[in-house]
Amino acid sequence: MAGKYQDAQKQISQVYHQHKGRMGYHRIAIAIRKQGWQLNHKTVFKLMKAMGLKSLVRVQKYRSYKGDTGNIASNILNRDFKSNRPSQKWATESVQALLIILRLLQIEKQTDLCFHNFLRLKVEQK
């Protein structure tokens, strides 16, 4: 295969090094076709493999930021979680749990901040 495609190998190597190894076999095949060569991308892949040319894969940085989502509650308590009398301050905590049996449960707990007792416990299956 090397003798038959010797000129093509030179051309592939030239395009590969011209783009500093950043182009894969598919894009190199397209670039070579634009220069007048009639080579299938599979042939370009085989020739690049035989020459030991591999394209560099640029790793994308993970970005978890999704912008401003949801509503931010106002800070009414100012982190003062103690109360002098009952039913003055209530707090709600909401948790979602995925069980082993593949069911999603949403657990919502309301507490009175004076005696820290449960006012309501609500469990919903989603």
Residue 64 lies in a domain: no
Total domain count, the chain: 2
Residue 70 lies in a domain: no
Mean pLDDT of 2-29: 90
**Cα 119 from Cα 88, distance rounded (Å):** 13
Query: How would residue 45 be classed by pLDDT, with cut points 50, 70 and 90?
Result: very high
pLDDT for residue 59: 80
pLDDT for residue 2: 58
Residue 81 lies in a domain: no
Tokens representing residue 66 in the block: 């999704």
51-90 pLDDT, tens per residue? 999 988 778 888 888 888 778 778 888 888 888 888 888 8
Burial per residue of 47-81, b for 16 or more beta-carbon CB atoms within 10 angstroms, e otherwise: bbeeeebebeeeeeeeeeeeeeeeeeeeeeeeeee
Three-state SS for 39-83 is CCHHHHHHHHHHHCCCCCCCCCCCCCCCCCCCCCCCCCCCCCCCC
Residue 1 scores a pLDDT above 60: no
Mean pLDDT of 113-117: 82
Task: Give the domain extent around 115.
Answer: 90-125
Per-chain mean pLDDT for the chain: 86
